[in-house]
Chain A
Amino acid sequence: MGEAPTGAAGFLNVSAAEKTFGAARVLDGVDLSVARGEFISLLGPSGCGKTTLLRIVAGLMRPDRGRVVLDGQDITTRPPHKRDVGVVFQNYALFPHLDVRANVAFGLKARGAPADTIASAVSRQLELVRMSALADRSIKALSGGQQQRVAVARALAVEPKLLLLDEPFSALDRKLREAMQVDLKRILRDVGTTAIFVTHDQDEALAMSDRIAVMSGGRIEQLGTPAEIYDRPATAFALGFVGLSTRLPGRVTQADGDEVVVSTAFGPVRGLGRFLPGSPVLVGVRPERMALDGRGENVVRATLVDAVFKGARVQLHFHAPEGAEVQVEAPSLPAGVAPGGEMTLSFAAADTRVYPLPGDMEAALAAQVAA
């Protein structure tokens, strides 16, 4: 507390932002620093505070405490229309009484730009989002994907310093969503806009972001590149929320420098972490780090329950006798293995991460000890 946030030289700096609604603390001291031109995702379940953080940056909401600094200027109390921060809303919020062209022109008109500047900027934006042919359409005559493009064009037309996107793809079907992700990335790269993208969809965040801020309970659990978030989750929440994983509750029996040995339902497991013996912990392993060949420090035997063919890879779900579940991802199903069969699985200590046991898993550990 009281210290300057790390990366204070960022283009956007949010420091120690707090927001409470009634008894609910929606933002609990959030620090976030975004570099110029960066595409950053706020990823988390609903209620984690990501939309609140976005609204605070947009100026649509005031934080109870904390500061927002954009491009060297403190904008914490500045009203939204003086911020130069564009927003693409979840439901697009296009003006229903205006056509496509007038929607895109709205911001420049409000700023009193000359008519010819507006006209050329609008046609440039519509071209960028490939909507030039529909410029004179009514908003109601557009599909969801087209509305989305207009919303992006409208926000970019005023050349905002920062673009905020609040789950812009959530109303689109899967195929369209993936096409729009590629499109949006291309558009933002062309324009060079700094962007914050709010989503609860981890695939979307992993695919699009330069960095991801994983949020939970009004805090940023981890801020890092998609690879860092996936390969080295900082907390048990980040491990569980992003990607699949095998998670085993247990108790530390032996501390050994950067490694600990944890007693789990599978027996002793060695992993990375610094804990005192006796600490309740959670052991986590990514499915593709699990091997079916028995090589690795940690070895468990489990029963194959289900094999899901995913095209390039196969997802295998195992059950251990103690009720624990193990997720494995392999290039293919080994010959002679069928659901119901028992197999030896192994994983390296270097691929095994040990976290403090989250509160909601204490019961699982207690049940396991009792058994």
Chain B
Amino acid sequence: MTRFARLDPVALLALPAILYLAVVYGVPLAGLLARSFVVDGAFSLSAFVAFFSDGFSWTVIGNTIRIAAGVTLVCLLIGYPTALALARAKGAAQALILVAIILPLSVGVVVKAFAWQIVLRRDGVISQALIFLGIWDEPQRLLFTEAGLVLGAANVFVPFMILPIYSVLKLIDPRLTEAAATLGASPLQRFFTVALPLTLPGLVTGVAFVFSMATSMYVVPSLLIGDRFQTLATLTGRSFLFMRNEQLGSTTAVVLLVLSVAVVVASAALSRRFGGET
């Protein structure tokens, strides 16, 4: 009671959200996760032992991390320059870019994934463009390949990379870059010694967002790469929906959760370390 009295009263405003999450999210999740630790009505780690001793599980974990890392990298390469352009733009141009980034979020993931199916086909835009540029000799299918999945998923998640970087960028005094220039730093040096370190908190947040979302995506891989390629998220879904193996499903869910939480915690720690300096 005395502990509670010392709490900032404003913190009580978070109570509805906490109650909501606890009842409709926390309790069912705990129930689901608990199932992975229960074998034949008793506590056991045998489900995890079985999971980790299966070579296929490691392939799935590898797939998950590889795809998520690829998606994060593509989002970073596209998102950082976009965030820079957004921060530099003024007035109507800035509003336009912002709308162009946020509006696609309202288009459902399923719709986007189907659209990417068309783009990634053997006779799709990308294939034709690469042939036109002379990079490919003959039409190739990107659909149902890892590269196609990374491209399509990056499109879905790139706003979550742009927005945190942008929100940090716009707080940076433009005079800092000018000061670096007058001190003799070339544009490239300015980027690596001033802009990049100062945007690191936003960058870390964006990476955490995109990476954790990409590890847990289900619809996009289902439509863009299919069942032959399994990630932790699709395997969890399959276990529950098709294989009716709740033990396996809850086990993969725990592994996925641990992976995501590790990324979020690590990035929060990194963000705090650099965030204090901006």
Contacts and interface: CB of A to CB of B under 8 A. Distances in A.
B194 A95 contact: yes
Given A96-B278, A97-B277, A110-B193, A60 B173 contact: no
A91 interface: yes
A114 to B, nearest CB: 15
Interface of A: 58-60, 79-87, 89, 91, 93-97, 106-107, 109-111, 138, 154-155, 158
Given A106-B193, A110-B189, A95 B182 contact: no
Contacts of A59: 181-182
A94 B178 CA distance: 11
B277 A93 contact: no
Contact of B180 (A58, A83, A85, A110): A110
Nearest to B190: A81
Nearest to B185: A110
Contacts of A82: 184
B6 interface: no
Interface residues of B, number: 22
B198 interface: yes
A87 B182 contact: yes
B183 A97 contact: no
B189 A96 contact: no
A58 B176 contact: no
Given A79-B181, A81-B185, A95-B194, 5 more contacts: A59-B181, A80-B182, A81-B186, A86-B183, A95-B180
Interface in B151-194: 173, 175-176, 178-187, 189-190, 193-194
A84 B197 CA distance: 25
A102 to B, nearest CB: 10
Shortest Cβ-Cβ A-B pairs, 6 listed: A107-B183, A93-B175, A110-B185, A93-B179, A80-B181, A87-B182
B175 A106 contact: no
A233 B230 CA distance: 83
B276 to A, nearest CB: 9
14 contacts: A60-B178, A81-B190, A82-B184, A86-B182, A86-B183, A89-B179, A93-B179, A95-B179, A106-B180, A110-B183, A110-B185, A111-B184, A154-B179, A155-B183
Contacts of A94: 179
A123 B189 CA distance: 23
Given A95-B194, A97-B197, A97-B278, A158 B183 contact: yes
Contact of A91 (B175, B189, B198, B277): B175
A12 to B, nearest CB: 15
B76 to A, nearest CB: 20
Interface of B: 173, 175-176, 178-187, 189-190, 193-194, 197-198, 274, 277-278
Contact of A93 (B173, B197, B198): B173
Nearest to A138: B277
B186 to A, nearest CB: 6
Contacts of A106: 180, 183, 185, 193
Contacts of B183: 81, 86, 106-107, 110, 154-155, 158
A158 B274 CA distance: 28
A97 B198 contact: yes
A85 B193 CA distance: 20
A276 B274 CA distance: 71
Nearest to B274: A97
Contacts of B189: 110
Given A91-B173, A93-B176, A96-B277, A81 B181 contact: yes
Given A87-B178, A93-B179, A95-B176, A110 B184 contact: yes
Nearest to B196: A97
Nearest to A90: B175
Contacts of B194: 95
Contacts of B193: 106, 109-110
Contacts of B277: 96-97, 138
**Which of B180, B181, B198 gathers most chain A CB within 10 Å?**
B181
A147 to B, nearest CB: 12
B219 to A, nearest CB: 40
Contacts of A83: 182
Contacts of B175: 89, 91, 93
Contacts of B181: 59-60, 79-81
Contacts of A111: 184
A82 B186 CA distance: 8
Contact of A81 (B173, B176, B184, B278): B184
A97 B277 CA distance: 5
A208 to B, nearest CB: 21
A245 B185 CA distance: 47
Nearest to A157: B183
A227 B182 CA distance: 33
A110 B191 CA distance: 12
Nearest to A86: B182
A109 B274 CA distance: 22
A95 B193 CA distance: 10
B182 A60 contact: yes
A91 to B, nearest CB: 7
Contacts of A81: 181-187, 190
Contacts of A79: 181
A123 to B, nearest CB: 18
Nearest to A87: B182
A244 B51 CA distance: 88
A320 B42 CA distance: 104
A110 B178 CA distance: 14
A81 B177 CA distance: 11
Contact of B184 (A96, A97, A107, A138): A107
Contacts of B198: 96-97
A96 B275 CA distance: 11
Nearest to B182: A87
Contacts of A84: 184
